[in-house]
């Protein structure tokens, strides 16, 4: 290409760029550049090389590239030992990774992926530099996890060829990759990245540019609602982790997860998403996080976070409470939530408990209520029960793994002890919390579903891709919308409405996507 007056290669005409767009990423002999040889960059280089692509790997620190190649070699050797990669494939993949000294050597690349520090000015400067190096039909992709693709591309001469290509750490183990279209990204660019993602052995999902994209948005619900619960004095870290892991079936509790990721990574991302959404209450950070960040209690990397790892200790489990086989009081179950009462009565029958069947409890009965999104106090007052004898039971999930109960501020200790002993009499652990709208699991799951519904409502991604991305990227037992099918859209809607009424906080308002499908009695995954 002939240079222009600035000395830079002239850009091809728009017409020429359009006619060449279908051939921008050839099926054979594709050469890609990866800038940044840290954990993400080396992971991307590895999956690209095993996917048959030649990778030019560079970093501002030459030693980082050498370390990355060594790390990739070890990773591939482990795959060979496991029998998932043969010697020939291993040798071929390693041969495809070619260290280069600087970005100026990426001119032959048809795709360049940046995986540098998460700073907007650094990324913008790098992309501007790349435009003077690569050809006009080269795709430039950012592995950013939280910065707007539109904003990153805004300083480029040709933002239409810039897109997000967000992998998850560790890249070789995490199958998900988010393909993000900026406001000016041509559709064919995203199409090409979807194809390349599949060739790398990933499961790509297509997303419109939005704060936190998809997975990081949904992930806020899990950790933030847990943090708000603890900061309100409702439960301990251990309680929350035990309930969400054992009862709700999440791979790890939210505070174990935070310690694994590190607060220095999680909290700034949370603040960025909150700011970018112009302080949308659903993403409101918790004061619990900033204090621990300031104290340097970041998690496993500092050997102290929400748990102590100074002696390689695992997270401490919640205290197990086991009691007598029966209650010293007669037991009465409220029918205010008929379906939930039925589940509780079925459990009590297996515990060989005599249940009062009157419309009102006797004068000494242990009064059990089963609220959805409500607290024990409101149930007692609304139903005309003696609050000193009321204990609430969370019946939303499987009652055979761990059970959660809570009392009103005036429930007598003997009744709390009786309920705790009763529900632990078959050897199942019991978690006791302070009074709270929505217990632990109800609150967190409802918020996950609500944020997923918000993403669907905004058309950031399809309903199917939302659930696919969250299950792959976060390992949740259900996608956010899939929780509606598992638990009932109407149930989740009621939980949110009751929490909003009790808290008076728009944080808990039900998204219209969720509200409409709950009112219609259809799946949250229904795409309109």
pLDDT digits (tens, 9 = 90+) for 118-130: 999 999 999 999 9
pLDDT value, residue 22: 44
The reply to whether 145 belongs to the active site is yes
Active-site annotation holder among 142, 143, 145, 146: 145
pLDDT value, residue 448: 98
pLDDT value, residue 21: 41
Q: Are 330 and 366 in contact (CB under 8 A)?
A: yes
pLDDT value, residue 518: 98
Mean pLDDT of 385-396: 98
Q: What are phi and psi of 348, to 5 degrees?
A: -60, -35
pTM of the model: 0.91
Residues 328 and 154: their CA atoms lie apart, in Å, by: 70
Q: Is 120 exposed, middle or buried (0-12, 13-18, 19+ CB in 10 A)?
A: middle
Kindly report, residue by residue over 269-289, the tens digit of the pLDDT. 999 999 999 999 999 999 999
Give the model's confidence band at 138: pLDDT under 50 very low, under 70 low, under 90 confident, else very high.
very high
The reply to whether 216 belongs to the active site is yes
Mean pLDDT of 253-263: 96
Give the model's confidence band at 327: pLDDT under 50 very low, under 70 low, under 90 confident, else very high.
confident
Instruction: Tell me: pLDDT of 11 over 50.
Output: no
pLDDT value, residue 406: 98
Active-site annotation holder among 143, 146, 148, 216: 216
User: HSE (CB half, 13 Å, CA atoms) of 489?
Assistant: 22
Instruction: Tell me: pLDDT of 2 over 50.
Output: no
Residues 117 and 144: their CA atoms lie apart, in Å, by: 9
Active-site annotation holder among 114, 143, 158, 166: 166
Instruction: Tell me: pLDDT of 336 over 90.
Output: yes
Tokens of 59: 């970093």
Least Cα distance to 258 among 294, 295, 227, 213 occurs for 227
Q: What domains, with CATH codes, occur in the chain?
A: 14-208 (3.40.50.720), 331-433 (3.40.50.720)
Taking CA 500 as the corner, what is the angle to CA 525 and CA 439, rounded to the nearest 5 degrees? 80
pLDDT value, residue 355: 95
Q: Residues of the chain with pLDDT > 90: what percent?
A: 90
Give the model's confidence band at 313: pLDDT under 50 very low, under 70 low, under 90 confident, else very high.
low
Mean pLDDT of 368-390: 98
Mean pLDDT of 383-396: 98
pLDDT value, residue 314: 54
| Alpha helices (runs of H) in 295-371, residue ranges in sequence order | 338-350
Residues 301 and 496: their CA atoms lie apart, in Å, by: 36
Mean pLDDT of 289-318: 84
| Alpha helices (runs of H) in 51-117, residue ranges in sequence order | 62-82, 87-96
> What does the mean pLDDT of the chain come to?
93
Active-site annotation holder among 178, 225, 238, 246: 178
């Amino acid at each position: 290409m002939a240079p222009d007056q600035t000395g830079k290669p002239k850009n091809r005409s728009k017409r020429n760029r359009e006619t060449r767009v279908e051939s921008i990423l050839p099926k054979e002999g594709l050469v890609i550049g990866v800038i940044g040889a840290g954990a993400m960059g080396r992971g991307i280089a590895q999956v690209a090389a095993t996917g048959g692509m030649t990778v030019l790997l560079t970093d501002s620190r030459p030693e980082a590239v050498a370390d990355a190649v060594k790390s990739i070699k070890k990773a591939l050797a482990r795959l060979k030992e496991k029998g998932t990669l043969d010697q020939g494939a291993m040798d071929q993949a390693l041969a495809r990774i070619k260290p280069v000294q600087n970005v100026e050597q990426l001119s032959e690349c048809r795709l360049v992926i940046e995986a540098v520090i998460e700073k907007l000015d650094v990324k913008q400067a790098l992309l501007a530099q790349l435009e003077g190096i690569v050809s006009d039909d080269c795709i430039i992709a950012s592995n950013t996890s939280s910065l707007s693709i539109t904003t990153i591309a805004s300083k480029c001469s040709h933002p239409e060829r810039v897109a997000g290509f967000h992998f998850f750490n560790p890249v070789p183990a995490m199958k998900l990759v988010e393909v993000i279209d900026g406001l000016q990204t041509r559709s064919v660019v995203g199409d090409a990245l979807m194809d390349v993602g599949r060739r790398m052995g990933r499961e790509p999902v297509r997303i419109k540019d939005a704060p936190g994209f998809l997975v990081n948005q949904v992930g806020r619900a899990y950790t933030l609602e847990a943090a708000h619960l603890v900061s309100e004095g409702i439960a301990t870290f251990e309680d929350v982790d035990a309930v969400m892991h054992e009862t709700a079936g999440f791979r790890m509790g939210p505070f174990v997860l935070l310690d694994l990721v590190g607060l220095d990574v999680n909290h700034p991302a949370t603040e960025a998403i909150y700011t970018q959404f112009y302080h949308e209450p659903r993403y409101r950070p918790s004061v619990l996080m900033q204090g621990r960040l300031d104290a340097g209690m970041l998690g496993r990397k500092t050997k102290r976070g929400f748990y102590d790892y100074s002696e390689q200790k695992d997270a401490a489990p919640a205290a197990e409470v086991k009691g007598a086989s029966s209650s010293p009081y007669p037991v009465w179950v409220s029918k205010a939530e008929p379906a939930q009462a039925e589940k509780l009565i079925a459990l009590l029958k297996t515990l060989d408990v005599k249940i009062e069947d009157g419309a009102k409890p006797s004068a000494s009965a242990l009064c059990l209520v089963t609220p959805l999104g409500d607290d024990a106090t409101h149930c007692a007052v609304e139903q005309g029960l003696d609050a000193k004898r009321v204990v609430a039971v969370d019946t939303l999930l499987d009652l055979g793994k761990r059970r959660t109960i809570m009392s009103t501020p005036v429930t007598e200790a003997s009744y709390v002890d009786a309920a705790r002993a009763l529900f632990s009499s078959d050897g199942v652990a019991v978690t006791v919390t302070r009074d709270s709208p929505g217990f632990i699991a109800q609150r967190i799951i409802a918020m996950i579903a609500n944020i997923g519904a918000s993403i669907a409502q905004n058309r950031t991604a399809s309903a199917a891709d939302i659930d696919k991305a969250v299950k792959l990227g976060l390992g949740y037992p259900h996608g956010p919308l899939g929780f509606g099918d598992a638990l009932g859209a109407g149930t989740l809607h009621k939980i949110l409405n009751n929490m909003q009424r009790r808290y008076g906080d728009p944080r808990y308002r039900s998204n219209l996507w969720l509200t409409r499908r709950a009112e219609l009695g259809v799946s949250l995954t229904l795409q309109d």
